[in-house]
Amino acid sequence: MTLRVTDVNAGYGKVQILRDVCLPDIAPGSFVGLIGPNAAGKSTLFKVLAGLLAPSSGQVMLQGQDITHLSRKERVRRIAYMPQAFGCNALLTVFEGVLLALKQTTGWRVRNDNLDRVADTLNALGLSHLADRGIADLSGGQAQMVAVAQTIVRAPDVILLDEPTSALDLHHQLSIMTSIRSEMERKHPIVIAALHDLNLAAKFCDRLVLLRQGAILADGTPEDILALSEIGATYRVQTDLERTKRGVLYVDARLSA
């Protein structure tokens, strides 16, 4: 099962945001990082990929089928999307909130295997200790981790995460990204995540897509993309691509003189 984006243009009313966006086949088990400055069009692209915004032209094909032809139920089952402004039902516990997300795709009768899947997901994300806490009592970072759990518990074909680490401290950034990577390796969904931290993108992603002003500037491996001069120009900084003692790619960025 592959995801392909071909010549997509999209926007809101008369305001065009995405311009001729193309993403060649993304295979199952791929972790794609979507990078670019603020207002580059990342969130709009996610809405198109999730089927929430119809492109004015072009197509998003999932296993050879245009996603605009999928029923809402089928789209929700196959594509899971966590937006920047995520919402959780504050009247529920963490366990109940994640279970509710799962039941949207499996029917409303609760089975033992549903409970086991929720427990496994919370454990994988290091959230088991919060299972009985009310969502209203969580910190912003904890609520964001619960939103990630609600996204991946459904085991969809495609997981879309719009800035999944934005409200997290360093420990929880690494925990979430490691868990997402493990989920990808275990169940082989396509994962696309918008990331502002280029070093997280370099560490965890197989492929990076650089977006600026609604158009794709580059698409390739983290090493190839982060070495481009367009990175510095896009973010209005100076960058050097280095490797740590452990061989991990590292972007050293500084303000331009």
Listed by start position, the domains of the chain span: 3-255
The pLDDT of residue 187:
87
| Cα distance from N-terminal residue to C-terminal residue, the chain | 47
For domain 3-255, give the fold.
Rossmann fold (3.40.50)
The pLDDT of residue 184:
83
pLDDT category, 105, cuts 50, 70, 90?
confident
Is 32 within 8 Å of 26 (Cβ atoms)? yes
Is 199 within 8 Å of 251 (Cβ atoms)? yes
pTM of structure:
0.92
The pLDDT of residue 86:
67
Q: Provide CB contacts within 8 A for 105, sequence distance 6+.
A: 76, 77, 154, 156
What is the per-residue DSSP string for the chain?
--EEEEEEEEEETTEEEEEEEEEEEE-TT-EEEEE--TTSSHHHHHHHHTTSS--SEEEEEETTEEGGGS-HHHHHHHEEEE-SS----TTSBHHHHHHHHHHHHH-S---HHHHHHHHHHHHHTT-GGGTTSBGGGS-HHHHHHHHHHHHHTT--SEEEEESTTTT--HHHHHHHHHHHHHHHHHH--EEEEE-S-HHHHHHH-SEEEEEETTEEEEEE-HHHHHTSHHHHHHHTEEEEEEE-TTS-EEEEEEE--
Is 194 within 8 Å of 34 (Cβ atoms)? yes
Tell whether the model's pLDDT for residue 141 goes beyond 90.
no
pLDDT category, 109, cuts 50, 70, 90?
confident
pLDDT tens-digit profile of 21-79? Answer: 999 999 999 999 999 999 999 999 999 999 999 999 999 999 989 999 998 889 988 99
pLDDT tens-digit profile of 156-204? Answer: 999 999 999 988 899 889 988 998 888 888 889 999 999 999 999 999 9
The pLDDT of residue 221:
96
